[in-house]
Amino acid sequence: MRSFALIPFLLGLSVSVDVKSGSVCVNDIPCFSTVLPATTLTSLVAAQQTQFNLSSTSPPSSDPVEQIYWKDNLSLLPDASDGFNYTAVWRPNFEDIDAPVKLLKLHGCGYTCTVRSGDTVLLRDSGFWRSRLVDVSNFNLSTLTITTSPPPFPGLVTSRCPVDPPPGSPNCGQGGDHVLARNAGAMQFAAGWDWAQGIPDRVSGLFSRVEVISSHPVRVSDGALRTKDVEEGVVDVVYSLNGIDGAEEVEGKAKLRIEFKGEVVVEVESELLSVSEGSREFAFTGVSIPSVELWWPFTMGASPLYTLTVSFLGSAYTWRAGVRKVETYIDSRTRGRGFKVNGEKFFIQGGNWIATDAMLQRGGRERYEDEVMMHKFNGLNLIRVWGGGLPERDEFYSACDEMGVMVMQEFWMSGDNNGRWGGEYDYPDDKEAYLEMVEDTVLRLRGFTSLLFWGGGNELWPAGQSPPPVIRAGLESLVNSLDDRFLIMSSMDGGYDGLNMTLHDDSFALAVKDGPYGFLDFKQYYTENNPGMVNGSEVIVSFQPEVGGSSMTTMEGLGRMGLDAGGGFPGWRDEGVPPLWDYHKFQGYSYTGLDGEDRDAIWDYGEPGDLQGYVDRAWAACLQQYQALFEGFTMKMFGDYREGGKTAIIMWKSQTPWPSLRGFMYDWWMETVGMGEGVRAGTGGEGRWKVGVDLGKGGGVTVVNRGVEEVGAGAVEVKAFGWGGEEVGEGVRVEVGRVKGGEVVKVGGGVVAEWAEGLEGKGTVLVRVRGEVEGGERAESWYWLNRVGGEWDMSYEDMGSWSEGGEVEGRLEEVEEGGLGDWWCGKMVFKVNRGRGCLVNPRFKGYDGNGERVLPLMVGSGLVTLNDGEEVEWEVRARREIVRLEVVGWGGGGGSVERRDTIESTHK
């Protein structure tokens, strides 16, 4: 299989050694051994030091990160604001290398970071997001120490802020008391948010790789490919040459080699260059790549990457990049910000990303590949790296490059803490340090093809104050001089609370308003221009950077969090939330229907009898909610602004940095949940086109083509089925013409509306929308719907009480060449037995040969499989080989399939 392993951005190295262990001294605690990387907090917990010994709380794991997140263990640990000194002195167990030039590379050190050899200070600075490279050629590595400490202004975490602060005290909210934002380049959510608790040491330590490398005195670095002409394959390749301090002037010619599919396609040489100490930027310009193959987001095409190497004397820098050209524009129909890739409109269906882990301890290559793959599998073609968080590690962007998932990267500010709603407009204090980190980040990330554009921060406003003028000018200067991408300062403006169109500036912000952040009557996604938004019909929101709400893990997930004890769960309209659920930021399921009635999406399926019933109902409620969200927004793709036309929809949020109870397609352990299944149902997954039914008043079927090539003419069939698989009423068939790339076609409103009226009083039915076009291409969508009083009503009590789910019989087969890098690829081949109900809303557990659960697990299932005797195939992806797959359907259905020819079903 092709490997997705990151090709290192080489620093002219012949040897590279990662340091995996060492010792650390914290405060007055005796020095102790530690693994690396680690934060000060995780090292203390792993060593069970005094008040950091959490073993007595009986977490199910020996992993210190999981121990810290178990139940409310975070609240038991001393906080930086309590006066506990988290300053740590680290002594990594360096393995020396024989080289004339040795460099210490700290991939993650902070907040303050000091490198010493004895009394000699080799480096002293602050901020999390710096590129730290220290020349240690003249020092014995065993003498090196690294001292880290938390930000000097740690602030109060959200859980320790007063609810009603006294006059003159900071208001408490997102980011705690907002003081953490005073520090340049801090991770603001480390003080807590409405979806995360604060981290006691504010994530200080050696939180990413410690590496020793050999180098040439002049290094090549920071390479980037810039596409000038996509038709002719003409590109510029920029790079830097860096001489170490005291390096003598040298002369030489740089060489560029470009390879594709194992063949060298370009070899060019520069003129004679002269370099000494310091850094200078150079470029190969007007390079022509023969028979170029363009890189596209996966929803528009393939994402091929070329391998580039720039060498100079003894140094070389190698990276992978795609040939693609990005443009931004104001769409004439939607009247908002849009983007084009290779000259074609790019409709963004994305997710908001925080971090793999709130303590930055889950950042390996596999973790990034897994999370990016789950975004792609669920049909999301962009990830917004949110401004209250971080710039991610290189492995994240490499995974996005490989998989054709684009990235919106924000810098580290938020309106919650930088003046708009809390904190001060003048934060951070050290603006020079902030801009130094911006420069490092732009240089580090500019070589990644998936990076679509830069954002100055989250929800910053007003333009003249946020970001501070010095930082705004610096951002514009650095991005314009070092990169060729677009920079927009804010995700949302529109006045203090948004919505004021007279205070919206398309050149400053993406939207006049974002949100909302809770459950809606699902019909709102189809009927409203800006679903759920107050006065949403009066504003234009073409690019929606945040919208979404609740999510729920599985029963196993609740057990991993320690939240299943006693079996308690919230009541009607989220009353009586268990304290530990509240601590893990539970967000509820109450909403107001379009009829004005108070509703609860859990109780829509009937009152749950136990915790399992609550969790099952939450899965179904989330699935339907997020299917409607993405279908409704996508039906407005590039439409007229008067009808809510959209260029982008980015859900809030697609993943979680700790075990929470809101906003994630998969939980912190990477188990798929109902939200993820709903997103995939709403986008169509990895397919380029999708069929659906408009659940608004107009009815009709829709064909959405988010690709470049047109979808051929064909027909869409709509049928309803009962829970035993029998047809309910007569279906309808609607002819559909060709659908161009980036187009939505809606037809058959009258006949579909008439069909819908025939379902009145039939109770909850299963609805299949199946499209087939020229060439035999098929697309299919399923829903469960209940027609009451001429409307689609969210009352599914009959579904909640149904217990006749169909049994599965079949087999699990390996696919030898799945083309998915390191993943195991297989297929589930099965049918649902006659004489019982359909398989509805299936959930899966995969097991390896040792009987252990395998996560993540992705199964390309449909929401419903009929018991019609037909054999069905579903794709299966997993990080390790699967030998058994358990299937659990709604209403008790399911079974088990194994790696042999056939098996008898085990009814669940």
* Residue 834: φ, ψ to 5°: -70, 155
**DSSP secondary structure, 807-818, as one string:** BEEEEEEE-S--
Between CA 336 and CA 345 the distance in angstroms is 13
CB 224 within 8 A of CB 321: yes
- On the CB side of 40, CA atoms within 13 Å amount to 33
pLDDT reported for residue 906: 32
For residues 166 and 35, give the distance between their C-alpha atoms in angstroms, rounded to a whole number: 44
Which pLDDT belongs to residue 171? Answer: 76
Strand pairing of 764-773 and 648-651? unpaired
Beta-carbon neighbour count of residue 880 at 10 Å?
17
Q: How many CA atoms lie within 13 A of 338 on its CB side?
A: 23
Determine contact, residues 111/204, Cβ cutoff 8 Å. Answer: yes
How many other CB atoms are found less than 10 A from the CB of residue 60?
Answer: 12
Q: Is the dihedral of CA 656, 660, 665, 667 positive or negative?
A: positive
Find all residues with CB under 8 Å of 446, minimum gap 6, and list them: 222, 224, 482, 483, 485
Compute the distance between CA of residue 315 and CA of residue 701 in angstroms, rounded to an integer: 59
**Dist CA 562 CA 555 (whole Å):** 11
CA dihedral defined by 685, 690, 696, 700, rounded to 10 degrees?
Answer: -160
Residue labelled with tokens 């490279």: 133
Cβ–Cβ < 8 Å for 608, 506:
no
Rama region for 612: left / alpha / beta (φ>0; ψ in -120 to 50; rest)? alpha
Element (H, E) at 266: strand 263-275
Q: Residue 363's pLDDT is what?
A: 86
d(CA 119, CA 803): 73
| pLDDT, mean of each 10-residue run, the chain (908 residues) | 36 71 94 97 94 84 93 95 95 90 95 97 96 94 97 94 73 91 96 96 96 92 97 97 89 97 97 93 98 98 98 95 98 98 98 97 94 98 98 97 98 97 96 97 98 98 97 98 97 97 98 97 97 94 96 97 94 97 97 96 97 97 98 98 98 97 97 98 97 89 97 97 94 96 95 95 97 95 96 95 91 78 90 87 95 96 90 94 95 88 34
CA angle, corner 294, sides to 290 and 300, nearest 5?
Answer: 160
- Helix then strand then coil, % of the chain, to nearest 5: 20, 35, 45
The secondary structure element, H or E, covering residue 471 is helix 469-482
Angle in degrees, 0-180, between the axes of helices 365-377 and 394-403, rounded to the nearest 10: 40
pTM recorded for the entire structure: 0.96
Which residues contact residue 246 at a Cβ distance below 8 angstroms, ignoring those fewer than 6 apart?
Answer: 277
pLDDT of residue 125: 96
Helix axes 431-445, 469-482, angle to 10 degrees: 20
